Structure 1
Amino acid sequence: MFQRGTTVAPELHELDEALLIEPESRRPPWRDLLASTPGRLSVLAVVLVAAALAAGVVTSAVTDARQREIDTLRTHSEPLADAAQSLYGSLSIADAAATTSFLFGGTEPVEVRERYNQAVGDASNALVSASTGVSAAAADTVGLLSEVSRRFAEYTSLVATARANDRSGNPVGLTYLGNASSMMQGTILPLAHRLCTEQWKSVATTQTRITRLPVVAFAVTMSAVFGLVLAQVYLARKSRRLVNPGLLVATLLMAGLLVWSALAFAVSTSAVERARSAGTQPLSALAAARILAQQARADEMLGVLRRGADAQSEVDFSRHTVVLSEILTQHRNTSRGGVADAPVADADAALGGWRDTHTVLQERLGNGDYPGAAALAVGPGDGASTARFAALDDALRSAIETLRGEEREAVDEAYRVTSLLPVGALVLGVLCGFAVGGGIWPRLNEYHR
């Protein structure tokens, strides 16, 4: 069984020491950072500072954008709309004055001539004002102004030719006047009305956009306040201290920014809403009413010139005055205690008197009493059509000026109440960031001692 000289070596078993050592775990650095209290405090500080700065920057940016819109509204959009309204009114006045002058048979009074010249000058000034406020990008508005300017030059040329023929006793002067009035009523005034409507619509659109609350700014600021409150609770549990002075100051600063911005935007929005509801809307309606009155006056004068033979002039007069009466009635029904209620009531009364006078005038034309009708149309008495119309126009102009003053005052208030917020929001955001650092830094030092 055994062999001599043969040695059998025992089998050796080596122990792998690597099996006795647990492999070293490799965790991401950020997990190690968050696993320690100092790391958590550091991350918390960075997040809170970023939230505070974000709240300040977002609130400042939103407010600054809103301020620029309000400034554009009060320095560009509203003046341009007013210039368009003045242009429309001046064109209508010029047409009515030109027609009135022909009732005097070449011997027009100085005041009638001056009224026409003043209206032409006002229309030219309004064209310049409107053109100055229009940017090159507004191609439609530029095109409208160019067309109105070109047509108005043709109109004044026709009126000048009509006047020259009238002074010479040529009956063709009335034909030229009719052509000029048709151009004004059929081409120039519709263009001016379109321009006026678009500009007031632009003003109303801007006002509606401004009244929207800055939801994003409020959300960011409220999130920052909520985060600061949670940080207070977290530190109170960790440090066994009830209040952290730095975070308390930061919370108060951020809450102050939230309250300040909420109040400022609420007051500003209310002011813009007042400008829209108590200014722009009734103003645009009364501007249209004044234009209707001027058109009705031109219709009346043209009907008298044609000795009642032009049925269309009477139809147009009735249509214009009916719409005018509806506008005044609607304003009186919807505006209770408004700033323009008194002049609108005066305008309504003047319109009633004018329509009564016009009825008598038409009766005289129907009876063949042309001299009596002409005297009633342009006579100097208080019961004449001229005085009745002047009272109506003065009341409407007073109402428009009052409403425009109310609108501009409200827009200025909307701009004023938020004027300091863009800079104030940035300052409060930065101060809040420093307060967060001042509150958390001492707690971090406690772990490094």
Structure 2
Amino acid sequence: MTYPPNAPAASAAQGTATAPARPGGVPAQPSPAPAATPPAGRGAWAVGRERLREAATTEPGRLQILGAVLALLVVAFGAVTALEVTDRASAADDVVSRSQPLSADAAAIYRSLADADTTAAAGFLAGTLEPAESRARYARDITTASLLLVKAAANTDGSSVSAREIATLNEQLPRYTGLIERARAANRQGLPLGGAYLRYANAQMSSSLLPAAERLYAAETERLHGDDDSARAWPYLSLALGLLALGVLVWAQRRNYVRTNRVFNHGLLAATAAAVTVLLWLLAAHTVTRTDLNSARAHGQESLQVLNTARISSLTARANENLTLVARGAVLTEDGKNDKYEADYTASMSALTTALAEARELADDDTGRDPVADSAARAAEWRERHKDARAKDEAGDYEGALDRVVGAKGSTGQSFDQVDAALERALAHEQTEFTRSAGNARDALTALPLGAAALGILGAAGAVLGINRRLSEYR
């Protein structure tokens, strides 16, 4: 029996058939290689690290890295120096043009208010018809205080302590002037009520206006001290970067010498000179600034504060002296044993004596000491005349006492005016001393920021050129 051929076997046979023959003369072609793929896990960072490692193992690569580091250090030194010195120069400028003038204005506000109160009491004592000179002086004091309050408000942050005190002064000052006008009106009519209005006005001045002015002065003086401290602070970051850059530059030049026996590399030498120049300039300018600010503080700022205290004490003493005659024993101390205004006069004169002695110690030249000495002599004369006036008043000679207090010649009022004039001369001198010293401190830093930035760029360029000179030897 015959069976048909097996189909799968036939198919397999066909599948194993030999490939057609290659034409003669045609070379065998290699099989295409599979596409290359990067090893797993090697990203951009890994490749970058590998290239950096390869660069660091060759001298040209090391030189390129060194050049980049040197340029970065020198530029950073110049930039940080420019920023830090700009900040200190701005603080020094604030000391000269903003903080100290505002502090002086705050002291002037206090003096103007105290003098207005003193003048009002003196005019009241002069009789029913107040002298025109007294009225003019009072009006001038009130106008000065008002203008300075406007100026202070324009230069003060609205949320600061100073702004709140300025608002208090602006609110209370019209009330005070209203009470003074009522006292004057009653006094012209010969009514005893005028003395009561005057005492009430003085109480408002002593309890509201002058304390607010004193707090304003303290706030502005504190801001002055803050700006002064900022201006004198050492730029430690700049100094550290300068020393680091200089050290790396010296090391790079020594490395260059050891490897090539060449003593100088002009580019690196120029970069080193630029770094040394900026570092020495920074040290010199900041030393000068600190020295001048120390002088401004010791011989200007501190003297001004003491002289302001002396002048305020003299004004307070004069106001209390006048009110002693106005009240005529109607207002007593808390223990009820002594006249309040006489006790306040004694305390103010004691403060004046202490302040004058301190001001004389702080004065650094005869121009500053002479007016202080004159003021002290006039204050001693004032005390003697006051004792005479009190003796007459206690003996029942009110008119004699009044003449010794507000008279044209030989009165305590004349002594007070002489003390005040001498203190004004001393204040003007110390203000000039402060402005000059603080201005010199500011000027010492003026050109340094721009100079440091320019020298930093030039130094970085020198470092790059110096390294490129070495790299050219490998090309």
TM-score for the superposition, normalised by structure 2: 0.86
Distance (whole Å) between structure 2 residues aligned to residue 321 and residue 36 of structure 1: 84
Distance (whole Å) between structure 2 residues aligned to residue 447 and residue 334 of structure 1: 69
2:395 matched to 1:367? yes
Distance (whole Å) between structure 2 residues aligned to residue 375 and residue 308 of structure 1: 18
Alignment of 1:47-446 (within 5 A): 47-138=69-160, 140-307=161-328, 310=331, 311-337=339-365, 340-381=368-409, 383-446=410-473
Distance (whole Å) between structure 1 residues aligned to residue 390 and residue 330 of structure 2: 11
Distance (whole Å) between structure 1 residues aligned to residue 377 and residue 204 of structure 2: 32
Distance (whole Å) between structure 2 residues aligned to residue 110 and residue 178 of structure 1: 22
2:67 alignment counterpart = 45
- The amino acid across from 2:233 in the alignment is R
- The amino acid across from 1:284 in the alignment is Q
Q: Give per-residue Cα distances to partners, 1:49-94, cap 9 Å, x unaligned.
A: 0011001000000011111112222222122111111100000000
1:18 alignment counterpart = none
> 2:298 touches 2:362 (CA, 8 Å); kept in 1?
no
Distance (whole Å) between structure 2 residues aligned to residue 121 and residue 422 of structure 1: 43
Distance (whole Å) between structure 2 residues aligned to residue 271 and residue 421 of structure 1: 17
Distance (whole Å) between structure 2 residues aligned to residue 134 and residue 28 of structure 1: 59
Q: Give per-residue Cα distances to partners, 1:158-205, cap 9 Å, x unaligned.
A: 000110111111110110001001111122111111111121122122
- The amino acid across from 2:116 in the alignment is A
Distance (whole Å) between structure 2 residues aligned to residue 220 and residue 99 of structure 1: 64
- The amino acid across from 1:423 in the alignment is L
Q: Give per-residue Cα distances to partners, 1:289-346, cap 9 Å, x unaligned.
A: 1111111100000112233555101000000110111111122234453752221111
CA RMSD of aligned residues (A): 1.5
1:14 alignment counterpart = none
Distance (whole Å) between structure 1 residues aligned to residue 198 and residue 283 of structure 2: 60
Q: Secondary structure at the match of 1:170?
A: coil
Q: Secondary structure at the match of 1:28?
A: helix
> 1:204 touches 1:280 (CA, 8 Å); kept in 2?
no
> 1:99 touches 1:301 (CA, 8 Å); kept in 2?
yes
Distance (whole Å) between structure 1 residues aligned to residue 192 and residue 463 of structure 2: 90
Distance (whole Å) between structure 2 residues aligned to residue 415 and residue 63 of structure 1: 11
TM-score for the superposition, normalised by structure 1: 0.91
> 2:91 touches 2:230 (CA, 8 Å); kept in 1?
no
> 1:339 touches 1:403 (CA, 8 Å); kept in 2?
no
Deviation at 1:439, TM superposition (A): 1.1
Deviation at 1:136, TM superposition (A): 2.1
Structure 1 segments (4+ residues) deviating >4 Å: none
Deviation at 1:122, TM superposition (A): 1.1
2:13 alignment counterpart = none
> 2:88 touches 2:230 (CA, 8 Å); kept in 1?
no
Distance (whole Å) between structure 2 residues aligned to residue 322 and residue 195 of structure 1: 24
Deviation at 1:365, TM superposition (A): 0.7
Q: Secondary structure at the match of 1:55?
A: helix
> 2:299 touches 2:362 (CA, 8 Å); kept in 1?
no
> 1:347 touches 1:393 (CA, 8 Å); kept in 2?
yes
> 1:92 touches 1:291 (CA, 8 Å); kept in 2?
yes
> 1:33 touches 1:39 (CA, 8 Å); kept in 2?
yes
> 1:343 touches 1:396 (CA, 8 Å); kept in 2?
yes
Q: Secondary structure at the match of 1:127?
A: helix
- The amino acid across from 1:388 in the alignment is S
Q: Could you tell which deviates more after superposition, 430-439 or 333-342?
A: 333-342
Distance (whole Å) between structure 2 residues aligned to residue 346 and residue 200 of structure 1: 27
> 1:250 touches 1:435 (CA, 8 Å); kept in 2?
yes
